[in-house]
Amino acid sequence: TAMTQSFIFNSSVEAKRFSTRKTHIRRLYDVMEICLQRGDFARAARAWAILARCEEIKWKKMWVTGLQLLGPEPNKTTKKIEFLRVMMLQQPEERESILQELVLHLIASGEHREALDELELYLPSFPYQDNPALHVYAGLLCLFLAQPGELSTSLDPSLLRDAQSHLERALALDTGNVVAQGFLFKIRSLSGNNANADAESDEEDLPIHTRNAKRPRT
């Protein structure tokens, strides 16, 4: 008979009165969540394999759970990135959240340029252009990539300008964003130092007789 039950976690099975089948599904969902919290990913995956076969479970919308089931190990990062790319295609209404997660995983795997490319692909369009967090990520990635490399001793001015632009956009969307405020101050300081360094470099490149030449009197 149908009965009223209380459960530890919410699932996509929503109703006030549950049949025996739905009660078992909710209990299994609780088991899966508890296993995830305890780090028992093998048991959680077995519970998920059963739940995913139940028509009551909207498993395609549960991408966060799917990501958790892959486990926290660093060697799973590539699989997580592949999973998130698939979810970007399958869950268009969740793309903003999925994109944030994808960018963070790309950064964690050291793929900073690829993470910025992903952001630059979506940021010009709605609704991504109005997401301050995405602009902060883009700004920080530009700032990171602007740092001097093996073949350069100065900051990349183009990337520095892009970083400033993204962070200013983030601050316009969220005036209380302390991360954007802090790094904008840093960028303006770096831009000034970079300009001074370039001027000094140009001065050093001048022939000695030009640098030491006296100005004619007027």
Give CA torsion, residues 199, 203, 205, 208, to 10 deg: 180
Which one, of 126, 110, 120, 197, lies nearest residue 159 by Cα?
Answer: 120
Beta bridge partners of 158: none
Interatomic CA distance for residues 103 and 112, integer angstroms: 9
Query: Does 84 score more than 50 pLDDT?
Result: yes
Interatomic CA distance for residues 192 and 124, integer angstroms: 28
Residue indicated by tokens 């990913």? 41
Q: Name which of 93-102, 124-133, 137-146, 152-161 the model is least confident about.
A: 152-161
Continuous segment of H or E residues that includes residue 190: helix 178-205
pLDDT tier for residue 72 given thresholds of 50, 70 and 90:
confident
Burial state string for 93-114 with b = 16 or more CB within 10 A and e = fewer than 16 = eebeebbbbbbebbbeeebbeb
Cis peptide before 127 (omega within 30 of 0): yes
The one-character DSSP state at 55 is T
Burial class (CB in 10 A: 0-12, 13-18, 19+), 8: exposed
Give the pLDDT confidence score for residue 200 in this predicted structure: 52
For residue 115, which amino acid is it? A
The one-character DSSP state at 18 is B
Q: What is the pLDDT of residues 101-122, one digit of tens each?
A: 999 999 999 999 999 999 999 9
Give the pLDDT confidence score for residue 154 in this predicted structure: 81
Q: How many residues are listed for the chain in this entry? A: 218
What is the rounded average pLDDT of the residues 130-135? 96
Query: Does 85 score more than 90 pLDDT?
Result: yes
Q: What is the pLDDT of residues 8-52, one digit of tens each?
A: 555 554 545 567 888 888 899 999 999 999 989 999 999 999 998
Q: What is the pLDDT of residues 166-216, one digit of tens each?
A: 999 999 999 999 999 999 998 888 776 555 555 555 555 555 554 554 555
Read off the pTM. 0.73
Cα→Cα distances 29→20, 25, 51, 168, Å: 14, 6, 7, 43
Beta bridge partners of 18: 3
Interatomic CA distance for residues 214 and 18, integer angstroms: 94
